[in-house]
Amino acid sequence: MITIHGLVKQFADRTAIDHLDLRIDKGETFGLLGPNGAGKTTTIRILTMLTKATAGQINIAGFDLPADEQQIKAIIGVVPQFFNLDSDLTARENLDLHGRLHHIPSDERNRRITELLQYVELSDREHDRVNTFSGGMKRRLMIARALLHRPQVLFLDEPTVGLDPQVRRRLWDLIRRLNEEGLTVLLTTHYIEEAESLCKRVAILDKGRLIALNSPAALCQGLGEFVVEWSDGEATNSRFFSDRAAAAQFAATLTATTTIRLSNLEDVFVELTGRKVVG
Amino acid sequence: MLTDIWTVFWRDWIVLKRRLSRYILSRMISPMLYLVAFGWGLGRSIQTGQGSYLDFIVPGIVALNSMTISFNAVGTPLNMSRVYHKTLEEYLIAPISAAAFVLGKIFSGMLRGLISSAVLIIMAYAFGAKFSLNAWFMAILLLNCGIFAALAVVAAMSLDSHEDMGNFNTYVLLPMSFLCATFFTPKQLPELARWLIEILPLTHASQALRSSAAGAGVAPVSLAVMALYFIAFVAVGIWQVKRVRD
Ligand SMILES: Nc1ncnc2c1ncn2[C@@H]1O[C@H](COP(=O)(O)OP(=O)(O)O)[C@@H](O)[C@H]1O
Ligand SMILES: [Mg+2]
């Protein structure tokens, strides 16, 4: 569905994306992971034509960038990292503007807006100006807006940043439901649990480079399914093992208090980027 | 294309419609001040060739007022939407052309310019000014609104902060509003100053509005200069919107 080949993005003297190659299949929920400044937003902005690539080829649903720009615009939905709703308009008017920009005929537009407002549970607030909305409500409205013109690919940039845990889980359910309906979803996040619970495959970016690409489970297995963690007074150390027996054996040789647990995507992340992700 | 222009215009129109009465009320203040200070106050003691000073300055005030309003109706909101609110991205992501966006914004700025001009013209009549509202007058007024709404697109797309927009107002629009044949004829000025002033679009707008208000038609050179400015600003504006993706 999306093919990225040799993508480079240079900002003055800084390289934000350094030769990125990716293939995202139709119907897949794909996660772009990475610490702040890794280049996730830049990647999304290039794919959604808000920024021009310095080099590289991009193909979305058979259309090439930048040649088939208008065709691609019609089939993608975008939820940017920062709120960009029109605060002078109500929720419904925001969707109406989007529908008009995407040339949806008025009958269908109104029907679809009503349907989507219900879907993201904002029907009772449709006539309120969006500057009275909470973060979660704005994010849901932005998702509704991105879905209005029935896109084939949905881009979500840090969709749950700054949201309550309950709201975040509701958004996860929403994203899962969309994916079950056949939508291809590309999301970026620096919440490891989010990627683990939503994504079939993840790519880990660091300083603009792709450093790992696989399913969350396979990435954990690659590292070793079991972790022994201990503290030496200064820092937390960890070591990975492919079976529990070996892990237990190693733990027995340590004098400090140890924990044995299953490895998770966060371990992969820390191992690969040498940095702990903070939410 | 036409649908897309309408969509961009529609967004601004529903926002304006909501506060239309307040908008009209606020538009009465500055014309009132000009008319009182320059028309009633100062005007009593000033002799112009023919007619009263009030009749002389009303076209000038119409020109400067339509300039300021059309510019600010587009400039500040568009600049904020590009730099701070990022709502411009909603249009950039949509399958519409840069030209449709720019023209939609210009028409919406022209609408505000026209509404405030209508308010001003009614007030000028109430103050006893005598002038003729004919097709030439309307055409020049429209064109003047268009020029400055288009200039606002150019400024909003190239200046990177709200403060710079304010500076543009102070260094460009404010001097023009006083110097461009609005309150006096540049004929009396030194050669160089006159020459400088006569290449500015607002000078031609004031002169063309004044001559058409007096029923004397419009100098072709004024029309040509204004049309050129309009086309140039529209073209630059479209080019900038196209190129906004660094
Ligand atoms: N408009 C810009 N101008 C200059 N540098 C930028 C710009 N946008 C992003 N960058 C840089 O590119 C890198 C990647 O940023 P970004 O894609 O926002 O990261 P992420 O979304 O993964 O946190 C960072 O080093 C950032 O400073
Ligand atoms: Mg980001």
Mean pLDDT of A172-181: 90
pLDDT value at residue B237: 97
Q: Do A84 and B86 touch (CB under 8 A)?
A: yes
A·B CB contacts under 8 A: 58
Query: What six digits make up the tokens of A191?
Result: 């919440």
CB atoms within 10 A of CB A5: 14
pLDDT number for residue B172: 95
- With a cut of 50, say whether residue A182 has pLDDT above it: yes
Predicted confidence (pLDDT) per residue in A90-114, tens digit: 999 999 999 999 999 999 999 999 9
Tell how far the Cα of A202 is from the centroid of ligand 2, in angstroms.
16
- Three-state SS string over chain A comes to CEEEEEEEEEECCEEEEEEEEEEECCCCEEEEECCCCCCHHHHHHHHCCCCCCCEEEEEECCEEECCCHHHHHHHEEEECCCCCCCCCCEHHHHHHHHHHHCCCCHHHHHHHHHHHHHHCCCHHHCCCEHHHCCHHHHHHHHHHHHHCCCCCEEEEECCCCCCCHHHHHHHHHHHHHHHHCCCEEEEEECCHHHHHHHCCEEEEEECCEEEEEECHHHHHHHHCCEEEEEECCCCEEEEEECCHHHHHHHHHCCCCCEEEEECCHHHHHHHHHCCCCCC
Highest mean pLDDT among B40-49, B132-141, B178-187: B132-141
Please state the pTM of the whole predicted model.
0.90
Mean pLDDT over B2-9 rounds to 97
pLDDT at A275: 57
User: Is the pLDDT assigned to residue B46 strictly greater than 90?
Assistant: no
Which pLDDT value is given to residue A231? 81
pLDDT in tens, B160-199: 999 999 999 999 999 999 999 988 888 888 999 999 999 9
Is A228 an 8 Å CB contact of chain B?
A: no
pLDDT tops 90 at residue A147: yes
Are residues B85 and A80, on separate chains, in Cβ contact within 8 Å?
Answer: no
Determine the atom of ligand 1 nearest the C-alpha atom of A44. Answer: 17
Residue A42 Cα, ligand 1 centroid: separation in angstroms? 6
**Architecture field, domain A2-215:** 3-Layer(aba) Sandwich (3.40)
pLDDT digits (tens, 9 = 90+) for A51-75: 999 999 999 999 998 899 999 999 9
- A16 CB less than 6 Å from ligand 1? yes
Give yes or no for B26 touching A (CB within 8 A): no
On whether any CB of chain B is under 8 Å from the CB of A129, the answer is no
For residues A44 and A7, the answer to whether their CB atoms sit within 8 Å is: no
Asked if A101 and B3 come within 8 Å (Cβ–Cβ), the reply is: no
Confidence of residue B114 (pLDDT cuts 50, 70, 90): very high
- pLDDT above 50 (res A278): no
**pLDDT band, very low/low/confident/very high, at A276 (cuts 50, 70, 90):** low
pLDDT of residue A212: 87
Q: What percent of chain A has pLDDT over 70?
A: 98
Of A52, A82, A84, the CB nearest to B246: A52
Q: What's the N-to-C CA distance of chain B in angstroms?
A: 25
Domain that holds residue B130: 2-245
Examine the pLDDT at A223 and tell me if it is beyond 80.
no
**Predicted confidence band of residue A279 (pLDDT cuts 50, 70, 90):** very low
**CA A53 to ligand 1 centroid distance, Å:** 13
Whether residue A127 lies within 8 A of chain B, CB to CB, comes out as: no
Query: Which residues in A lie closer than 8 A to residue B10 (C-beta atoms)?
Result: 97, 100
Q: pLDDT tens, B210-243? A: 999 998 889 999 999 999 999 999 999 999 999 9
Strand order in the sheet with A55-60: A14-24, A2-11, A55-60, A63-65
* pLDDT tens digits for range B58-100: 999 999 999 999 999 999 999 999 999 999 999 999 999 999 9
- What is the DSSP pairing of strand A201-206 with strand A226-231? unpaired
User: Mean pLDDT highest for which of A233-247, B22-36, B215-229?
Assistant: B215-229
Q: Does the beta carbon of A77 lie inside 6 Å of ligand 1? A: no
Q: Is A52 in the pocket of ligand 1 (CB under 6 A)?
A: no
Alpha carbon distance A37, A62 (integer Å): 30
* Cβ A126 vs Cβ A92: under 8 Å: yes
A39 lines ligand 1 (CB under 6 A): yes
Contact A168, A160 (CB under 8 A): yes
Pocket flag, ligand 1, residue A40 (CB < 6 Å): yes
Query: What is the total count of domains within chain B?
Result: 1
Sorted by where each begins, the domain ranges of chain A are 2-215, 219-273
Which residues have beta carbons under 5 A from ligand 2 (an ion)? A 40-41, 81
